[in-house]
Amino acid sequence: MSDNPSSDTPNSDSTVTPFPTGNPVASEPTPAVTTPEPTDASVSNNSSNADLPEDDVAAINQLGYTYKKLKAELGKVIIGQEEVVEQLSISLFAGGHSLLMGVPGLAKTLLVSSVAETFDLSFSRIQFTPDLMPADITGTDIIQESGVGGKREFEFIKGPVFANIVLADEINRAPAKTQSAMLEAMQEKKVTVLGKTYTLEKPFFVLATQNPIEQEGTYPLPEAQLDRFMFLIELDYPTAAEEGRIARETTGKAPEKLSHLLNGDQIQAYQKLVRRVPVPDHIYDDAVTLVRRTRPNTPDAPAWISELIGWGSGPRAIQNLILASKARAALHGSYMVRREDLLAVAAPVLTHRVIPNFAAESQGMTSKKIVARLLEELDE
């Protein structure tokens, strides 16, 4: 299992797990941040290292302010797609990977490379094809002259997976053994080549894409591999107003250079901060209830679920629901997880983990529609 849920277990003596440090919090969800925002100087002073304020409340204020600046920076090159930017940010600060679904031409590569530039992280793009081999991703040993007595030695040449942010473009076009090499790197944060293990640099974030239009000659990811992605992020066409802006603003002068907001050490510090965000007991209960209702032929599942779903979500879905809710709460300046955070991340967490059967497909019931109905029933 990718994450240890024990760190998220609530205290049995209270309804909220308190912060290890900082001000105490109330037992009910609080509104958005009301304290003053950090100044640009206070953010830039921390840009050279991973030091955060000792008070977690102040650190969350700083993270919320940085998130606002991130959206403003990305807005220089990305028009629209606000929800996609939010989900991508949640996945990054929660320490998860995402599967991006959208037709060509929606700026997926530009978005990911812009995030890497804004966070001062290394970025690589891998175009998956049927003839792509695992060594093309992980790297391989080549023979080099050592310069001592004319001897030759093997030297490992790193592949494109050795980057902080990796865009795995059309991952379903590569055969299973190549997919498994990529997914091993995602899960273990390391790669093994010819019996030697190499650790990947942190933070490590994979954004994989699939083309929903053309499925011929592809190798669909099995459910066990889909489950390794925290989010399924779906891109749609921009609105008419946004496309008007695209026509005007992207066909003139060159785009502005993006500013560096965070480095890798700071991102890892914020990821640890996200895990410390407290969660009320009823949020844990809602997450467990929601996931258990996706499993057909179980006592917790509604009757209609058993008729429409072939396979439901596993425990990793609960972990990702809680972690993503924590990240969203922190990015929005809340000092604890609210129910609205859980509901906002439920669809991208569950959609690719709920597998409709033939009966559902014949009725036009997609995974997205099934999850939406489950969320409606959760509110009843």
- pLDDT tens string for the chain (380 positions)? 444 444 444 443 434 444 444 444 333 444 444 444 554 444 444 433 455 677 888 999 999 999 999 999 888 888 888 899 999 999 999 999 999 988 888 888 888 888 888 888 888 999 988 888 988 998 888 887 776 666 777 788 888 999 999 998 888 888 888 888 888 888 888 888 877 888 898 899 999 888 777 666 677 787 878 888 999 998 888 889 988 988 888 888 877 788 888 888 999 999 999 999 999 999 999 999 999 999 998 888 888 998 888 888 999 999 999 999 999 999 999 999 999 999 999 999 999 999 888 888 888 888 899 999 999 988 76
Counting DSSP H helices and E strands in the chain, the numbers are: 15, 11
Structure confidence at residue 27 (pLDDT)? 39
With CA atoms as reference, report the closest residue to 114 among 155, 82, 75, 65. 75
Give the Cα separation of 375 and 302 in Å (integer).
13
Cα separation, 304 vs 194, whole angstroms: 49
Return the pLDDT at 52. Answer: 64
Topology of the domain comprising 39-133+161-276: Rossmann fold (3.40.50)
User: In the prediction, which pLDDT does 335 show?
Assistant: 92
pLDDT of residue 88: 92
Chain centroid offset of residue 224 CA: 17
**Cis-peptide, bond into residue 280, ω within 30° of zero:** no
Which DSSP letter does residue 135 get? Answer: H
Amino acid identity of residue 39, one-letter, is T
pLDDT at position 50: 52
CA-based radius of gyration for the chain:
22
Give start-end residues of each CATH 3.40.50.300 domain in the chain: 39-133+161-276
CA angle 169/174/176 to nearest 5° reads 130
* Cα distances (Å, whole numbers) of residue 289 to 284, 299, 321, 357: 9, 11, 12, 22
Helix (H, G, I), strand (E, B) or coil at 336: coil
Domain 278-380 in CATH 3.40.50.2020: no
Q: Where in the chain is the domain with CATH 1.10.8.80?
A: 278-380
Task: Please list, in sequence order, all residues whose beta carbon lies within 8 angstroms of the beta carbon of residue 378, skipping any fewer than 6 positions away.
Answer: 286, 289, 290, 293, 343
